[in-house]
Structure 1
């Protein structure tokens, strides 16, 4: 199986929670690539990867379930991250990329914990797993 086929299969068989985790990981990866490109003065590569990170944040915003109260707290943070990425791109500011990277890592790590806790509740309650 090719890497591309494996990746496609991973996405097709992933739960919504795992897909969200993949989005966070992608966002983090694109910010890292953008920062390296910024340091190497590869303007087009920096721009492309910042835009990819922004696209992921926008996807997270659009797909967020508005029924949960926490959504009202998270959406402004996503909006902030998106605006900061735009600012980092225009100002060529690696410190802003670091800031947004840190936020994305926090979201990712929190989401990982949510998935683990959910699995424990689904499969591990009462030792019947």
Structure 2
């Protein structure tokens, strides 16, 4: 009784954290989050496969396929992305094919292959992260923040 309600509360808390992260994330960070989601889903699929939980394995693989197809592939701009976008599209299609085969044949090695490809892409994506204002040091002010200031009043 306590375990299920506690787990539901934890899941709800995690979901709120993810939703808040998505709202505040830059487009670059959103792609990283998609990579993370697919990597975690494949890791879950491997655990379910090893535990003999076939239905849960299939659900996790389906989630990874959905993230790759509806997230990563859908975000590609083939017009302005040129050859890189076309190559990534083909790689994402390859990953989905491998995931389907892994699901059908219960092959953990195919799951690991796709997971490693996603990790490599994530690392590359992180390496090209744009610098943000938070990485730039704030300017040094020549005033004492605690010093008293003269009041300015408006007269009517």
**What is aligned with 2:77?**
65
1:17-96 to 2 correspondence within 5 Å?
A: 17-59=28-70, 60-66=72-78, 67-69=80-82, 70-96=84-110
Question: Who is 1:119 aligned against?
Answer: 131
What is the CA-CA distance between 1:113 and the residue it aligns to?
0.9
Unaligned runs of 5+ in 1: none
Deviation for aligned residue 1:13: 1.1
- Higher share of residues assigned helix: 1
Name the residue aligned to 1:107: 121
Q: Specify the alignment match of 1:15 in structure 2.
A: 26
CA distance in 1, matches of 2:89, 2:15: 32
Deviates more, 1:50-59 or 1:6-15: 6-15
Unaligned runs of 5+ in 2: 1-12, 140-156
Instruction: Give the Cα–Cα distance (whole angstroms) in 2 for the partners of residues 128 and 43 of structure 1.
Output: 53
Q: Distance in 2 between matches of 1:57 and 1:18?
A: 16
State the Cα distance separating 1:128 from its structure 2 match: 8.4
Equivalent-residue separation in structure 2 for 1:47 and 1:20 (angstroms): 24
In 2: Cα distance, 1:101 partner to 1:74 partner: 15
> More relative contact order in 1 or in 2 (CA 8 Å, sep 6+)?
1
C-alpha displacement of 1:93: 0.3
What SS is found at the alignment partner of 2:44?
Answer: helix
